[in-house]
Structures are given as structure tokens and as C-alpha cells.
């Protein structure tokens, strides 16, 4: 591929579990006298959209149009998440408020780029608000080019089988980021994107590439998927389609943080497909985007410009005139 397609007309609908990623940054200079644990003196707090919200943020950062559909609690964290999403260009957030739950928060304590502790706050959404979200999904579906269902196992995708069926009936490619050990509910999706450990949890371990390929193709066939993409960390990505497997190696990088890399992968895949690319090309660009984002701390995004520069640095020969400059996607730390 010598050039990226234009992204500005691509429209992607993202549905799934959203959360607020909250970071406490500071320094550790002593051990607590109360217990053998480090004392973190916090000097900065940062808040970023996480989960499906980070997927939507990655789509918007690439310059495409993202619509996010999800559920939050009627609380401070939900209001904070909505505010952060409003600050993101190219993103429309349709968040249903559920007063019976707390917005999911992942709180991380970080010192010198090392995560010391993560604390999670979460409760599953009510059936009533999920039915309302499903009604919105039916309205938004015809407006999208591609659908992403981002499953973090938090209860927001109770109707995922119906959502997949509705998308396929509407002729929309539907990409699923899976969770758990029961993939039956993802049957009929266009593409599933498990990472290596998630795939092993479902398919079992393997001794060599031949055995891995057989297990992947068997799962793809059983679930009636058009394709299966297994992200394999330092071993790259493998794309399985009927009678075909393609592998994309990892580009050597300095890795700071892999959190959120899967969000970047599926977001880039969707934007590429919505822009008319085929799956192998979409995989190659998603692999580059993931390589860029793991060099950043915390849940982060990749711009179209960064991908173009990475391709230029690798000798792909893209001209600067071909670059579409996306809107800024800077998030402001909490006050």
C-alpha cells in the first residue's frame, strides 16, 4: 500500500462498555509504616475515556466520524466521561444514564511510568436501559458504514447476538472485540479480534503454527465468521479467512504501555474498511497503529498523520500532500 485512503467520510458506530480511565501520577520515596506497601505522593490526576469510549476516540482521532452508544451511571464519573467525549472532535456520544448503577472506573496509580495498583469500580446496567440502548441502535445502524461491538464483559452488550443479526441483515460489516470463554454469542459477525490470551482461553493451547492455524480456522467456521484476526503481541497479527491465512509481523518498538492497544487495532480496522480498504490492507495499517500506540503511556490514540509518518519512515513513499490533517484530540487533565 503506497497511500492511505481518505478517512473523513467514514462513519463507524461503536457500541459497548464504556468506562472512565482515571490515573494518579506521582512519586514513591518511602514504604508505609502501616503495611509493606509503597506510599504514592500524587502530584497529577488525568482522566481519559476508556473501553468502548476509547475505541470511539481512536476512530475520531483518525479523522473519521464516530458515533458511540453506551450506558453510564448518573454520577460524577459519568458526567466527567461525557465532558471528555464532548471535547473530542468527530465524535457523537449517545450515553444512556442509569441511576441504578455506578459508571465504570478503572483507577490506576502510576509512578515513574510503572503501574503500582489498579482499582476497579463497576456495576452491570439495568435491563430497562439496555432495551432503550437497543432501540437507539436500530435508529443509528442505517447511518453507519461499519459497526464495532466492544465487549469488555461488563454487561452492556446483553443483546449482542441481536445486534449482530440486525447489522448483517442491514448489510453492515460488524467487528467484535470479544471477552470471556463463550464466543457463541458472537456467531455470524464479520470479524472477531481476540488477542492471543483471549484466543487461547477459548481454543486451548497450541504447539506450533500448524496447530494454531487449524484451531483458528475451526473457530472461524464454527462461529460462521467471515474472518478471524488474532493479535499476538510480539508475534504480530494473523488473519484467517476461508482457505487463507495471512501474517503481519510486529515492527520493532519500544513498548511503554499495551493498555488500549486492542482498541486502536479494531478502531483502525473499522476506519479502513469503512474507507473502502480490504481486510489484509486494513490489518497492515492496524498493526502499524498498534505499534505506535504502545509507545505511549495509558489509554491513548493514534492520528492519521502519525501513521503516514510511520509509513514514510519505513520507506512506503507517501507524499505529505496526501496527508489529511485531522482535528486535534488533546484531552485536558482533571482540575
Residue 194, exposed/middle/buried by CB under 10 A (0-12, 13-18, 19+)? buried
263 is catalytic: yes
Average pLDDT, the chain: 89
Q: What are phi and psi of 170, to 5 degrees?
A: -85, 0
Listing DSSP states for 266-311 in one string gives HHHHHHHHHTT--HHHHHHHHHHHHHHHTTSSSS----HHHHHHHH
In the predicted model, is pLDDT for residue 9 greater than 60?
A: yes
- List the catalytic residue out of 235, 263, 278, 281: 263
Q: What is the structure's pLDDT at 147?
A: 98
Q: What is the pLDDT of residues 188-202, one digit of tens each?
A: 999 999 999 999 999
In the predicted model, is pLDDT for residue 335 greater than 80?
A: no
Q: What is the pLDDT of residues 251-271, one digit of tens each?
A: 655 555 566 688 999 999 999
Domains of the chain, first to last: 11-27+45-316 (3.40.1190.20)
Q: What is the structure's pLDDT at 282?
A: 95
Amino acid at each position: 500500500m503506497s497511500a492511505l485512503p481518505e478517512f473523513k467520510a467514514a462513519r463507524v458506530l461503536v457500541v459497548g462498555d464504556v468506562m472512565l480511565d482515571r490515573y494518579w501520577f506521582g512519586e514513591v520515596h518511602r514504604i508505609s509504616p502501616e503495611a509493606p506497601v509503597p506510599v504514592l505522593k500524587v502530584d497529577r490526576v488525568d482522566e481519559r475515556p476508556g473501553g468502548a469510549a476509547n475505541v470511539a476516540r481512536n476512530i475520531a482521532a483518525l479523522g473519521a466520524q464516530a458515533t458511540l452508544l453506551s450506558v453510564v451511571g448518573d454520577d460524577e464519573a459519568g458526567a466527567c466521561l461525557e465532558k471528555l467525549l464532548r471535547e473530542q472532535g468527530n465524535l457523537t456520544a449517545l450515553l444512556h444514564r442509569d441511576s441504578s448503577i455506578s459508571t465504570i472506573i478503572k483507577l490506576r496509580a502510576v509512578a515513574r511510568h510503572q503501574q503500582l495498583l489498579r482499582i476497579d469500580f463497576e456495576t452491570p446496567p439495568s435491563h430497562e436501559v439496555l432495551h432503550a440502548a437497543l432501540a437507539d441502535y436500530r435508529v443509528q445502524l442505517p447511518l453507519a458504514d461499519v459497526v464495532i461491538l466492544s465487549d469488555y464483559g461488563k454487561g452492556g452488550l446483553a443483546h449482542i447476538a441481536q445486534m449482530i443479526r440486525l447489522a448483517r441483515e442491514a448489510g453492515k460489516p460488524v467487528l467484535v472485540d470479544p471477552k470471556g470463554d463463550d464466543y457463541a454469542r458472537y456467531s455470524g459477525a464479520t470479524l472477531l479480534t481476540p488477542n492471543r490470551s483471549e484466543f487461547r482461553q477459548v481454543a486451548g493451547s497450541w504447539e506450533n503454527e500448524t496447530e494454531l492455524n487449524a484451531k483458528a480456522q475451526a473457530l472461524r467456521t464454527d462461529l460462521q465468521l467471515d474472518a478471524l484476526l488474532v493479535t499476538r503481541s510480539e508475534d504480530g497479527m494473523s488473519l484467517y479467512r476461508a482457505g487463507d491465512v495471512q501474517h503481519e509481523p510486529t515492527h520493532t518498538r519500544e513498548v511503554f504501555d499495551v493498555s488500549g492497544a486492542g482498541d486502536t487495532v479494531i478502531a483502525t480496522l473499522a476506519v479502513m474498511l469503512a474507507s473502502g480498504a480490504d481486510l489484509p490492507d486494513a490489518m497492515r495499517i492496524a498493526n502499524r497503529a498498534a505499534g505506535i500506540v504502545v509507545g505511549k503511556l495509558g489509554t491513548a490514540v493514534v492520528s492519521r498523520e502519525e501513521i503516514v509518518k510511520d509509513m514514510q519512515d519505513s520507506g512506503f513513499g507517501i507524499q505529505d500532500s496526501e496527508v489529511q490533517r485531522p482535528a486535534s484530540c488533546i484531552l485536558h487533565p482533571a482540575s
